[in-house]
Structure 1
Amino acid sequence: MAKHGKKYRDAKAKVVKPIYSISEAIALLKETNTTKFDASCEIHIRLGVDPKHADQIVRSTIMLPHGTGKTVRVVAIVSDDKVDEAIKAGAIDAGNETIIAKIEKGWTDFDMVVAMPALMAKLGKVAKTLGQQGLMPSPKAGTVTPEPAKIIEQIMKGKIEFRTDKTGIIHNIFGKVSFANEKLEENLKALLKAILDAKPSGAKGTYVKAVHLTTSMGPSVMIETQEVMAL
């Protein structure tokens, strides 16, 4: 196992309590940030669900009040008459056959794909490529829509998807270190509330088991699950 450097060890030493309130944890994220760039603030929340069962999958979307601070590169698979408005909304590229051909050749230099329902069948030939990288559009994620420009605008303003991985953990970014503490707290609480609201019917027992916050390369800080459940 690789050893952490002095900067990380010094930052880790500032995490003196085993558990913190949300406001304390956010303040501590800034104190323990070890990067020179504007690091992302991340949440890792372990839920009491087993995603192998369909009625225990947690997946939804939320519009963060202040966005993530991250530039999202969106590609739009749309009909010819929707290309211009998709580009105007913020897509880095828009079209149909031409874009699919580029993806077939290995192009995946983007973060998200928004597609019109009528064109989903055409994505079949690149479904494996997109699926392996978590880029395949999905109705559940709101990325399959007859109104692509509207969804792209929402994504540009901070709409994100959250979902459990195969171990029942949700990993998401909720802002940047440069954000004011109040904005980070508002973003985080909005995301946590959405996760609570998305509790699946099959979830039994303790729903929120552990919540950790961290910056891109900093130590993790655990927050009180009781405070989370009371949101």
Structure 2
Amino acid sequence: MQKKTSKRYRRAAELVDPRRKYPLAEAVSLLKKLPPTKFDQTVALSFKLGVNPKRTDHMVRGTCLLPHGSGKLVCVLVFATGQAAIDAREAGAEYVGYEDLLKKVETGFSSFDVAIATPAAMVEVRKLGKILGPRGLMPNPRAGTVVENTAAAVKEVKSGRVEFKLDKNANVSVPIGKFSFLEDCLMGNGRAVIDTLLRARPATAKGLFFRKIILSATMSPGLNIESSFSLKG
């Protein structure tokens, strides 16, 4: 049975040429001209990468600090004690603690977007792997969420640091802001993500790295992006 699409989506699809690969700036400009929704959509870049996700040396994972923020209010939980806990609380973390939070999470609490932990706290936090792992909430050094400097980590997450990770089909999707953002802001965030992924390219990956790039908003058709990017700076 064919899925029905809304009139708004069909109007948007009429403005997009599915056979064309748009320069990023032109794609952002066109996306902003598509019929809006009643809510502020999330804008994302999705990548098909030229890597083998079954190979451990082809893993692509990391974080990117969006220069213009993500537009999302991020709720942060920090597993820490002592000065690290004080620093995290002062930096704006909503939930800070150790043994009390371990028990709370173990019994099902998950009303947070990011979990951060100090290396010392990870001794016990690791035991929550089966709970936090499937939700994508497990602190990880490569994601910048296992740190001594909890204050800096909390501030980065809240100011627009986003995490990315290769999936089993060699795809990576990264939010770059909200539909309400100015074009220049979406462009700046998009370019930051592209540069970060280029830097994360595995040394053993051969051939074309960006096989396909799609720009889209939550309820919009995707726009194919030219994929011949090189690092800036």
**Normalised by the size of structure 2, how large is the TM-score?**
0.94
Q: 2:85 aligns with which of 77, 83, 87?
A: 83
Q: Residues 1-231 of structure 1 correspond to what in structure 2 (within 5 A)?
A: 1-16=2-17, 18-226=20-228, 228-229=229-230, 231=232
**Deviation of 1:230 (Å):** 6.5
Query: What's the % identity of the aligned pairs?
Result: 37
**Deviation of 1:103 (Å):** 0.8
| Aligned structure 1 segments of 4 or more residues deviating by more than 6 angstroms | none
Unmatched tracts of structure 1, length 5 or more: none
Unmatched tracts of structure 2, length 5 or more: none
The CA distance in 1 between the partners of 2:32 and 2:94, in whole Å, is 32
Partner secondary structure for residue 122 of structure 1: helix
**Deviation of 1:154 (Å):** 1.1
Q: 154-163 or 45-54, which moves further after superposition? A: 154-163
- For this pair of structures, how many residues does the alignment match? 230
The CA distance in 2 between the partners of 1:131 and 1:106, in whole Å, is 13
**Deviation of 1:34 (Å):** 3.7
Q: Aligned partner of 2:6: which letter? A: G
The CA distance in 2 between the partners of 1:80 and 1:49, in whole Å, is 43
Partner secondary structure for residue 81 of structure 1: helix
**Deviation of 1:36 (Å):** 1.2
The CA distance in 2 between the partners of 1:61 and 1:33, in whole Å, is 31
The CA distance in 2 between the partners of 1:81 and 1:189, in whole Å, is 37
**Deviation of 1:177 (Å):** 1.2
The CA distance in 1 between the partners of 2:65 and 2:16, in whole Å, is 30
Q: Is the 8 A contact 2:11 2:35 kept in 1?
A: no
Deviations 1:34-76 (A, max 9, x none): 4111111111011001121111111122211111111111100
Q: Aligned partner of 1:135: which letter? A: L
Partner secondary structure for residue 142 of structure 2: coil
Deviations 1:166-199 (A, max 9, x none): 1111111001111111111011001101101111
Q: Is the 8 A contact 1:83 1:95 kept in 2?
A: yes
The CA distance in 2 between the partners of 1:167 and 1:19, in whole Å, is 22
Partner secondary structure for residue 225 of structure 1: coil
* CA RMSD, Structure 1 to Structure 2 (Å): 1.4
The CA distance in 2 between the partners of 1:145 and 1:57, in whole Å, is 21
**Normalised by the size of structure 1, how large is the TM-score?**
0.95
Q: Is the 8 A contact 1:60 1:141 kept in 2?
A: yes
**Deviation of 1:5 (Å):** 1.3
